């Protein structure tokens, strides 16, 4: 790879039964901006792996193929471990359904360096756009009774926030050494939220960077609500299990802000209504959500029970 500002950055990409063409396109886009790309694949199979492994290895990266699905958090930790062993100072976390914009990493690095002069910065992240939405997603400050949505409106180059989605996060390795790895027990869902809360509790800040852009798909689909009430992001039943179980897990952690817990509790009822009554498969959705709440209270971690997997 040619010399550029991102040479000290290792991109950690996590995949799970990806579209090989889309994955190749995304890795090609980010490879031009970083020093190496390590792909941690969660139990996929396909001829694409051998070709991609050779390409990544030739560019100084690697394909770390897992025999089974170890979960998003564990896969991220595996990739971070590889980056640490190979001397990279920063890691860029990416999902398979993200597409970094041109110059994204350079913009993130510049903002991180600037912000770190006057404070302890845990991570920075890009503003992202879901092609199914009509505007970029906002950054968020936790509030009560509602969160504050903060948009890139030209008034400032960065936006201080309470959490960032994991895809697109640029994190210094020294910060990971202080705050700790992603919570593998969560498996998937709320992994970024938990890590952000942990970082904030330790006195670190997080910032969205308006000059850094990324396309990212949230959820499996969009469904229209009755009576013209708009659209809702739809997830599969097993994903709803993790969402419910892991939010209960966050309620129990000392670094989770009380105001977030207070304004999240009503969302539990809303999700039960939406996906257990209005949006199908209703019975399977409801069963998975209730089991998630029950397992969260019991303290279950890791992969969902086999009978709940999609």
Domains of the chain as residue ranges with CATH? 5-216 (3.90.550.10), 221-308 (no CATH)
Q: Collapsing DSSP states into helix, strand and coil, what is residue 55?
A: helix
**pLDDT for position 1:** 36
pLDDT value of residue 310: 67
d(CA 94, CA 61): 15
In whole angstroms, give the CA distance from residue 196 to residue 3: 31
C-alpha span between 116 and 229 (Å, rounded):
42
Please say whether the beta carbons of 116 and 33 come within 8 A: no
Decide: 169 and 123 in contact? Cβ < 8 Å: yes
What is the model's pLDDT at position 17? 94
Residue 276 · residue 282 · CB < 8 Å: yes
CA gyration radius, the chain: 19
Task: Report in angstroms the alpha-carbon separations of 216 from 78, 98, 159, 303.
Answer: 22, 4, 19, 24
pLDDT at residue 133, as a whole number:
77
At residue 280, the pLDDT reads 87
Which structure tokens are listed for 61? Answer: 């990266």
Entry pTM:
0.95
Counts of helices then strands in the chain (DSSP H, E): 9, 13
Q: Could you say which residues of the chain have pLDDT below 70?
A: 1-4, 219-222, 224-230, 310
Q: Which pair of tokens denotes residue 259?
A: 């105001």
Alpha-carbon gap, residue 44 to 175, rounded angstroms: 31
d(CA 263, CA 37): 38
Q: How many Å apart are CA 11 and CA 99, to the nearest integer?
A: 12
- What is the pLDDT at residue 130? 82
pLDDT of residue 2: 38
Q: How many whole angstroms from its chain centre is CA 13?
A: 11
What integer pLDDT is reported at residue 223 of this predicted model? 73
Tokens of 264: 């999240």
Segments of 27-144 assigned E as strands: 36-42, 62-66, 90-95, 98-100, 121-129, 139-141
Q: Which residues of 161-190 are buried (b: 16+ CB within 10 A; e: fewer)?
A: bbbbbbbbbbbbbebbeebeebbbbbbbbb
Q: Are 287 and 238 in contact (CB under 8 A)?
A: no
**Centroid of chain to Cα 175:** 17
């Amino acid at each position: 790879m040619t010399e550029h500002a991102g040479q000290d950055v290792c991109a950690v990409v996590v995949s799970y039964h990806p579209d090989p063409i889309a994955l190749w396109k995304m890795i090609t886009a980010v490879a031009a901006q970083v020093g190496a790309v390590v792909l941690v694949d969660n139990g996929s199979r396909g001829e694409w792996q051998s070709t991609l492994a050779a390409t990544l290895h030739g560019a100084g990266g690697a394909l770390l193929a897992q025999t089974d699905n170890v979960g998003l958090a564990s896969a991220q930790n595996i990739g971070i471990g590889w980056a640490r062993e190979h001397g990279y100072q920063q890691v860029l976390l990416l999902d398979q359904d993200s597409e970094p914009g041109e110059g994204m990493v350079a913009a993130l690095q510049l903002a991180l360096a600037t912000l770190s002069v006057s404070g302890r910065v845990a991570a920075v992240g890009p503003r992202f756009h879901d092609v199914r939405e009509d505007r970029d997603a906002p950054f968020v400050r936790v509030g009560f009774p509602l969160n504050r949505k903060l948009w890139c409106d030209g008034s400032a180059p960065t936006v201080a926030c309470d959490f960032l989605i994991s895809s697109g996060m640029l994190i210094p390795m020294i910060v990971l050494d202080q705050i700790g790895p992603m919570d593998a027990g969560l498996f998937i869902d709320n992994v970024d939220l938990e890590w952000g809360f942990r970082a904030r509790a330790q006195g670190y800040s997080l910032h969205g960077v308006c000059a850094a852009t990324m396309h990212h798909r949230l959820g499996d689909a969009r469904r229209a609500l009755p009576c013209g009430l708009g659209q809702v992001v739809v997830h599969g039943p097993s994903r709803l299990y993790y969402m419910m179980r892991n939010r209960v897990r966050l309620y129990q952690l000392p670094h989770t802000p009380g105001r977030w817990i207070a304004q999240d509790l009503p969302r539990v009822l809303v999700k039960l209504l939406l996906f257990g009554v209005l949006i199908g498969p209703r019975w399977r959705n409801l069963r998975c959500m209730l089991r998630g709440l029950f397992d969260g209270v019991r303290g279950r971690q890791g992969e969902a029970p086999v009978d709940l997997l999609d």
